[in-house]
Structure 1
Amino acid sequence: MACLAAAKRANFNGQLSKLSSPLSLGSNFFFCSLSAPSEPAKLDEESAVSGNGNGDILSRTAAREAVTTRSQNSIRREGRRSKSPEKIEDVICRMMANRAWTTRLQNSIRNLVPCFDHELVYNVLHSARNADHALQFFRWVERKNLFRNDMETHRKIIEILGGAAKLNHARCILLDMPKKGLELNEDLWVLMIDSYGKAGIVQESVKLFNRMQEFGVERTIKSYDALFKVIVRRGRYMMAKRYFNKMLNEGIEPTRHTFNNLIWGFFLSGKVETALRFFEDMKSRGISPDVVTYNTMINGYNRSKKIEEAEKYFVEMKGRNILPTVITFTTMIKGYILQDRVDDALRLVEEMKSLGVNPNAITYSTLLPGLCNAEKMSEAQTVLKEMADRYIVPKDESIFMKLISSQCKAGNLDAAVDVLNGMNRLSVSTEAGQYGVVIENCCKAGQHDKAVALLDNLIEKDVILVPQSTLHMESSAYNPLIEYLCNNGQTAKAETLMRQLMKLGVQDALALNALICGHSREGTPESALELLQIMHRRKIPSEKSTYESLIQSFLERNEPADAKAVLDSMLENGHLPSSSLYRTVMERLLKDGRVQTASRVMKAMLEKGVKDHEDLVTKIVESLLMRGHVEEALGRIELLMHSGITPDFDNLISILCQQEKIVAALKLLDYCLERDYSVDTSSFEKVLEALLADGKTLNAYSILCKIMEKGGSTDWSNCKDLIKSLNEQGNTKQADILSRMIVGKNEDRKKGKKKGAVAG
């Protein structure tokens, strides 16, 4: 057996040397990395470790050692150190972890290790990455007759399975041991009893305890102590008393450990009187209480809110020259804190220091909440400094939040900042919610510079975006700070804060509106517009003042088209712009030469029922006509008339004629005639003269006919010239019709005068 083991070790070392050598064709990666290798790497390992099963192991070992020597010499020449070979049990455990438990894997392990011994099997079980791997390996080596599991390997697998709560497997292995010729001992039963107890299955622990004698295992105080621990942990105090009496009847004497377990369990179940009786019984049996006993008594009475009794036992233990430990002092301090006796707790801290007992993390975690509740913030600050100096991190990190809130409540903002600094010194991760409490209180106190400094620290360390954070910054903290930054020219910094919050899903309308206004005031409307678009996409409500400030910012940048786009968005989102805002936008658009855009703003204004600024809307209509946008101008005139605003048509026609915009003047006059709008005779004549001068005789003829049909005057001095031009251009029919219309009108006028004279 020893020879085979030695051969196996030599074979494995040679194989590993070959695999780790640069000259090897095997997969170095598989043996150098703990991560899961790729499939080719697995195949390389199998081929490397399989070898020839019929060959001489020692011959192969010698050859591989020679290769190893050459590779090591080469490495030394290059000035590098060779890596130590991997242990065989680690290789097996990694193979089991990376691959399914198949026949192929089993063959690979057998080729890697031709001979198994106790040391190897035990180490593989100990190093297995989970209980399933250990169980598979344990049963496999025995089933394949590779190794006969002994007492130690059985104990190891039972311990592993018990810790993983695979209790049925563990029990089967335990109960099958006699069939394998292995003698059961009490330690294995204690292990199983404790495992079932940790899993909360008390009845199974009791059954196993009762079956010990059935398997010929003698029960001692060790078995009873294990059972008592399981029973009292689950509050079965009556059962504990019964088995205690049974133990005494069997002639087994309890030890100090037995009484300590039972007293602890009775206090845990709230049976204070029973615990006291057992304590007295312990002393009556000549068993002196130790520091654990007194700690249990003190803790039990503190849990029962009987601090005076706890103090009595604290004094008693010192009277017996039993030095209190840090657990004793911490337990007493906790009792005082629960009774709001903070001064006594502080006194006890000084006493323990005087005895050379240093407070630990639990002591500080117990003391600090009591100091905060008692509003003893200076003492709390001192304790925190002491913790930082000694680099003691409390078990419950939520105490830092309580310290920060309490210091802020007391108005000690510098002390609250010191808490954050103390956390950094203790390497405790700060959270955004903790910064938020300090920032909020700094803003309330008007100490905005301090709040901004904290924000810089918050952003620099990316505290807000830490995925493990459970305390997030509240709106009551970031909104006042964002408002302050936006009002003081630091909108970019405020936006950085808000964008980090938005990554966490924060959609705060108040903050976003403040940011848009801040960017607008600082002359960066593009950034403001980007935030406004984000609000629209996420359907976050916007405010009217937000749009107004952004529009004003674009206008100040001489970008009226962008201002108009924001105005449209404002209307789409249900906000009605003020009359003055409409006027400002239209004036700037008109000044920028964007007549049609200004016309659309005018249309939107009129449709919303705003009927102000007649002078400006008339000017917009005039500009449309001058630019040749006649149809659009006529549409706007129609809208004005529906709104009760009548443009000065005569003035418009006069201006168009003066600027030689004859076609526009003609269409405007024709529009007025069709709708019977009031137009002065002089306007007709100006249009006719302009048409005649421009040679547009047919247009002049058409418009003159319409004037006459409407009952207009025919006293136009250039009628004869128009008739003459029509004849010259070959339009004799139109000239004849016009002549007869003029003669008819004149005759009607004469008859009218004659009838008037006779009647007179």
Structure 2
Amino acid sequence: MPSFSIAPEEATVAALIAAYGKANIPQESVKLFRLMPDLGIARTALSYNAVLKAILCRGREAMARRIYNAMIADAVTPDLSTYNTLIWGFGLCKKMEAALRVFGDMKDHGVTPDVTTYNTLLNAWVRAGDLESARKVFDEMPGAGFAQNSVSYNVMIKGYVEAGKVEEAVGLFSEMGEKGLRLSEKTFAALMPGLCDDEGRVVEARKAMDDMVERRLTPKDKSVFLRLVTTLCRAGDLDGALDVHQKSGQFKHVLVDPRQYGVLMESLCAGGKCDGAVEVMDELLEKGTLLSPKSPVLEGPAYNPVIEYLCSNGNTSKAETFFRQLMKKGVDDKAAFNSLIRGHAKEGVPEAAQEILAIMTRRGVRTDPESHALLVDSFLKKNEPADAKTALDSMMEQGHVPSPSLFMSVMVVLFNGGRVQTASRVMKSMIEKGVTENMDMAHKILEALFMRGHVEEAIGRVNLMVENGCLPDLDKMLIALCENDKVMEAHKLADFALDRDFDVSFSTYDRVLEALYTEEKTLPAYSMLCKIKNKGGVVDQKGCDALMDSLKAGGYSKQADILSRILAENASSTSKRGKRVAMGA
């Protein structure tokens, strides 16, 4: 303005003071107000009123008193706006004594209050929570020459509702209609919370909402719809709740609260109307309300019932679409995750279930054993044993112990598919978890390992079984190996059993010796024979003689002499052929 040689006027400065006040920067308002004399601008009630309002907006009532006193000292006459501003500001700070003092000062200075003054004082009493004093002012207004207007009624209705005196609020609302006063958005905003939260007044609440729709009044407080829907659902009036929900979408500039959808979905599912809940969910997805940054996060009871319903009825993909929107809002709900896994598994889409499981693992969400079991079973049904085994491993990594039947199912499929070593690893996990059922399958796996030459692995599994109290039938296994010409495999198993004093019949050992003789495995037979004799076992003398001849023929004279001495030393302590000797491992 100086660059254009334009001197600022009081109105200009007052407007700037008011702007700083609205921007919540009252210190700048005060600074500019104090600068006015330096700018050569006289201060009148206009600028005083502006600075008083700016500082009272921030609750600085002590400073407001000082400026008001300075106004009187400067011989600036307060006007009606000054007093109304002070009453409003002191009421905002709940300083009712100061507000009443200002109200008295008006008359002393010859300023006549107007309807705004009374409404401002009325609002101050309501804000202070003194409805009795507020009602006194309200009733005094006609006697002072001011009929109560819509603002007066709105203030009182709001006060009664906030105090829980809904009956009085409804009475004033009816009185407004009788007087023909305008029912505004603020009227309904004041009344609706009281009607919406009372199950006994839902009929009145719905009628009030119909009036709002008819008058095209959009409530400032959008939560009234959520509150009314919640009350109707709590009262069991699901049709009424749906009707209110549909009408709430007819108001302009109203984004329906996602929690309103949640209340409806939860209540409809609880009331057996799950298909209706799915329709509500479809509407929520279509509008994209969940994805709004400002939208609140839904709670588990709001979405879990509809997700479970969809997953149990062949529509898991839709449930996942819904839940993925919730995940974007930071939702990590164990029940929903597990419902999705179960749903995909039952529908024969284990890959999708596995993807959900991977998300759970990354987010550290606890899984259910049932979900894992269904995933394993789903892979088995698709004849994908390797994936079934991976899913089984994941189940154990999560701290769950698969059932004996689940272990059995995976082992059988792997075994029948020729994946013996993989089946063996499953068997190992099973025994380590303390599951000792289904040992028939374990025996088959052990025998197959020996037959395929995986001797060390097989013996390791035998040792594991013994350590866990489930000794396999070694007699049966040794005989089977001999019958299938797996002589060296039988020898290693027999040697292992002898070294650990396992309970094996000497007749079985004889069978292994016989196989070794037949295959001309001289040194293994010699080693085994020595161990048998040291255990007190009896062997065929002809076989021993033949073995000594073979040892000598092979240049093993020392071994032949040792064997001869062992036989001679034990001749007096022979045992009956086939005797089983219990030896401690």
TM range (shorter): 0.7 to 0.9
Alignment counterpart, residue 559 of structure 1, candidates 379, 384, 400: 384
Q: Structure 2 regions of 5+ residues with no counterpart?
A: 575-585
Residues of 1 paired with 2:539 and 2:426: CA distance?
42
Q: 1:425 to 1:732 in 2, by over 3 A?
A: same
Alpha-carbon shift at residue 394 of structure 1 (Å) = 2.1
Alpha-carbon shift at residue 474 of structure 1 (Å) = 0.8
Matched, 1:309 2:136: yes
TM alignment of 1:692-707, pairs within 5 A:
696-697=519-520, 699-700=521-522, 702-704=524-526, 706-707=528-529
Residues of 1 paired with 2:546 and 2:30: CA distance?
128
Alignment counterpart, residue 239 of structure 2, candidates 411, 414, 419: 414
Q: 2:457 corresponds to which residue?
A: 632
Matched, 1:732 2:553: yes
Q: 1:510 to 1:264 in 2, by over 3 A?
A: closer
Q: 1:345 corresponds to which residue?
A: 169
Q: 1:258 to 1:604 in 2, by over 3 A?
A: closer
Alpha-carbon shift at residue 429 of structure 1 (Å) = 1.5
Q: 1:363 corresponds to which residue?
A: 187
Matched, 1:437 2:271: no
| 1:150 alignment partner AA | S
Q: 1:558 to 1:328 in 2, by over 3 A?
A: same
Q: 1:708 to 1:346 in 2, by over 3 A?
A: closer
Higher-RCO chain (CA-CA 8 Å, sequence separation at least 6): 2
Residues of 2 paired with 1:352 and 1:659: CA distance?
104
| 1:331 alignment partner AA | V
Maintained 8 Å contact 1:194/1:226: yes
Maintained 8 Å contact 1:691/1:700: yes
Q: 1:596 to 1:257 in 2, by over 3 A?
A: closer
Alpha-carbon shift at residue 312 of structure 1 (Å) = 1.9
Bigger Rg, which one: 1
Residues of 1 paired with 2:114 and 2:573: CA distance?
141
Maintained 8 Å contact 2:297/2:329: no
Matched, 1:274 2:101: yes
Residues of 2 paired with 1:334 and 1:643: CA distance?
75
Q: 2:480 corresponds to which residue?
A: 655
Maintained 8 Å contact 1:670/1:703: no
| 1:481 alignment partner AA | V
| 2:280 alignment partner AA | L
Equivalent position SS for 2:358: helix
Alignment counterpart, residue 598 of structure 1, candidates 404, 420, 423: 423
Maintained 8 Å contact 2:342/2:371: yes
Moved more, 671-680 or 372-381: 671-680
Equivalent position SS for 2:426: helix
Q: Deviations over 1:206-229 (max 9, x none)?
A: 6457x48x94x6665545655665
Moved more, 339-348 or 710-719: 710-719
Q: 2:151 corresponds to which residue?
A: 327
Q: 1:314 to 1:571 in 2, by over 3 A?
A: same
Q: Deviations over 1:79-133 (max 9, x none)?
A: xxxxxxxxxxxxxxxxxxxxxxxxxxxxxxxxxxxxxxxxxxxxxxxxxxxxxxx
Q: 1:280 to 1:623 in 2, by over 3 A?
A: same
TM alignment of 1:655-734, pairs within 5 A:
655-675=480-500, 677=502, 680=505, 683=508, 686-687=511-512, 690=515, 696-697=519-520, 699-700=521-522, 702-704=524-526, 706-707=528-529, 710-711=532-533, 715=540, 732-734=553-555
Alpha-carbon shift at residue 485 of structure 1 (Å) = 3.2
| 2:233 alignment partner AA | C
Alpha-carbon shift at residue 365 of structure 1 (Å) = 1.3
Matched, 1:473 2:294: no
Residues of 2 paired with 1:327 and 1:686: CA distance?
109
Q: 1:596 to 1:445 in 2, by over 3 A?
A: same
Q: 1:332 to 1:689 in 2, by over 3 A?
A: closer
Q: 1:751 to 1:480 in 2, by over 3 A?
A: closer
How well do the aligned residues superpose, as a CA RMSD in angstroms?
4.1
Q: 1:573 corresponds to which residue?
A: 398
Residues of 1 paired with 2:198 and 2:568: CA distance?
115
Alpha-carbon shift at residue 487 of structure 1 (Å) = 3.3
Q: 1:71 corresponds to which residue?
A: none
| 1:596 alignment partner AA | Q
Residues of 2 paired with 1:194 and 1:749: CA distance?
119
Alpha-carbon shift at residue 245 of structure 1 (Å) = 5.2
Equivalent position SS for 2:61: coil
Alpha-carbon shift at residue 501 of structure 1 (Å) = 1.8
Moved more, 498-507 or 435-444: 435-444
| 1:382 alignment partner AA | K
Maintained 8 Å contact 2:83/2:103: no
Alpha-carbon shift at residue 347 of structure 1 (Å) = 4.3
Q: 1:493 to 1:229 in 2, by over 3 A?
A: closer
Q: 1:482 corresponds to which residue?
A: 307
TM-score scaled by length of structure 1: 0.63
Q: 2:349 corresponds to which residue?
A: 524
Residues of 1 paired with 2:524 and 2:79: CA distance?
130
TM alignment of 1:166-245, pairs within 5 A:
185-188=9-12, 190-191=14-15, 194=18, 199-201=25-27, 204=31, 207=34, 211=37, 215=40, 222=46, 225-226=49-50, 234-235=60-61, 238-239=65-66, 242=69
Equivalent position SS for 1:296: helix
Matched, 1:299 2:109: no
Q: Deviations over 1:400-457 (max 9, x none)?
A: 3333333333333333333432332224112333322332333344433332222222
Q: 1:535 to 1:676 in 2, by over 3 A?
A: same
Q: 1:457 corresponds to which residue?
A: 283
Equivalent position SS for 1:443: helix
Q: Deviations over 1:240-275 (max 9, x none)?
A: 76467557x67x6x6554554455456554135435
Equivalent position SS for 1:430: coil
Q: 1:86 corresponds to which residue?
A: none
| 1:381 alignment partner AA | R
| 1:707 alignment partner AA | L
Maintained 8 Å contact 1:701/1:722: no
Equivalent position SS for 1:425: coil
Q: 1:380 corresponds to which residue?
A: 205
Residues of 2 paired with 1:414 and 1:450: CA distance?
10
Maintained 8 Å contact 2:158/2:190: yes
Residues of 1 paired with 2:20 and 2:261: CA distance?
46
Maintained 8 Å contact 2:308/2:336: yes
Maintained 8 Å contact 2:377/2:388: yes
Q: Deviations over 1:41-99 (max 9, x none)?
A: xxxxxxxxxxxxxxxxxxxxxxxxxxxxxxxxxxxxxxxxxxxxxxxxxxxxxxxxxxx
Q: Deviations over 1:284-320 (max 9, x none)?
A: 67x5x54434433443454442243233244347x66
Percent identity of paired positions between Structure 1 and Structure 2: 38
Alpha-carbon shift at residue 675 of structure 1 (Å) = 4.7
Alpha-carbon shift at residue 530 of structure 1 (Å) = 1.8
Moved more, 270-279 or 488-497: 270-279
Q: 1:405 corresponds to which residue?
A: 230
Residues of 1 paired with 2:289 and 2:18: CA distance?
44
Alignment counterpart, residue 391 of structure 1, candidates 212, 216, 219: 216
Alpha-carbon shift at residue 473 of structure 1 (Å) = 0.2
